[in-house]
Amino acid sequence: MNTSVVAPEWQVSRWFNTRQPLSLAQLRGKVVLLHAFQMLCPGCVSHGVPQAERIHRAYARDGVAVVGLHTVFEHHAAMTPEALEAFVHEYRITHPVGVDAPITGDPIPATMQRYRLRGTPSVILIDRMGQLRMQDFGRIDDLRLGVLLGQLLGESAEASDVEPASEAQIGALPGCNETGCVALP
């Protein structure tokens, strides 16, 4: 499970459910569950978003920070920050949600590119030291995710000499290959 690379910082253009912008650096010492989603993605709406909210409500006091990343790579005109604000309210999402920063002229937003995400839903686990420990595309089973979170919570938060993740290292994570990870239509 340990990839021994520091997770790249995310790039967010707007935040919901937090008073100030969040960064991975300020979340050091916590296990971070980053879930990438789109509000028009059926798998995200039926499974990914509710799963993330359940984890947030159950484990926030135990050292797990759940952060949503609305990473839009299709239907850009329909999935605006204003529409996301209504979605967050209607679905009673209480964990922080960031809007993945768009890149002019490119349909794939910045953090999605940086992590080489294949699509949505995607779950990324980052340990207490900021190391990227798991990246999974698609539906992840609650039991499996719970076991992984338990393992990470049980680990020490001691500082280490971990190098920042290179694109090649991120590409070697599960779900990616030598050509990278691409958003699926």
- Percent of the chain at pLDDT > 70 equals 82
Q: Please report, rounded to a whole number, the percentage of residues in the chain having pLDDT higher than 90.
A: 72
For residues 161 and 63, the answer to whether their CB atoms sit within 8 Å is no
93 in any annotated domain: yes
Beta strands 97-100 and 12-16 are antiparallel
38 has pLDDT over 50: yes
Q: How confident is the model at residue 2 (pLDDT cuts 50, 70, 90)?
A: very low
In a domain, 184, yes or no: no
3-state DSSP assignment of residue 45: helix
User: Is the predicted pLDDT of residue 135 greater than 60, yes or no?
Assistant: yes
Give CA angle at 122 (32, 139), nearest 5°: 110
Q: Is 164 left (phi over 0), alpha (psi -120 to 50) or beta?
A: beta
Residue 177 maps to a domain: no
Q: Is residue 3 part of a domain?
A: no
Put the strands of the sheet holding 64-70 in their side by side order.
Answer: 12-16, 97-100, 64-70, 31-37, 122-126, 132-137
In a domain, 105, yes or no: yes
Query: Is pLDDT at 50 greater than 70 in this prediction?
Result: yes
Domain-located, residue 84: yes
User: Residue 11: which of 126, 118, 132, 101 has the closest Cα?
Assistant: 101
Range of the domain at 124: 12-171
pLDDT in tens, 106-116: 999 999 999 99
Q: What is the DSSP string of 60-125?
A: GGGTEEEEEEE---S-TTTS-HHHHHHHHHHTT--S-EEEEPPBTTBSS-HHHHHHT--SSSEEEE
pTM (two decimals): 0.81
Whole-angstrom CA distances from 54 to 33, 92, 93, 94, 101 are 12, 11, 10, 10, 26
- The count of domains in the chain is 1
Structure token pair of residue 120: 């949505």
Mean pLDDT, the chain, whole residue set: 85
Whether residue 183 is predicted with pLDDT greater than 90 in this model: the reply is no
**What integer is the mean pLDDT of 143-170?**
68
The pLDDT value given to residue 158? 56
Domain-located, residue 40:
yes
Which residues, in sequence order, are bridge partners of residue 37? 70
If you ran DSSP here, which 8-state letter would residue 145 be given? H
Q: What is the mean pLDDT of residues 12-18?
A: 97
Q: Give the confidence band of 180 by pLDDT, cuts at 50, 70, 90.
A: very low
Q: Is a pLDDT exceeding 70 seen at residue 175?
A: no
pLDDT bin (cut points 50, 70, 90) of residue 157 is low
pLDDT at residue 43 greater than cutoff 50: yes
CATH of the domain at 22: 3.40.30.10
Q: What is the pLDDT of residue 167?
A: 47
The answer to whether residue 70 is domain-embedded is yes
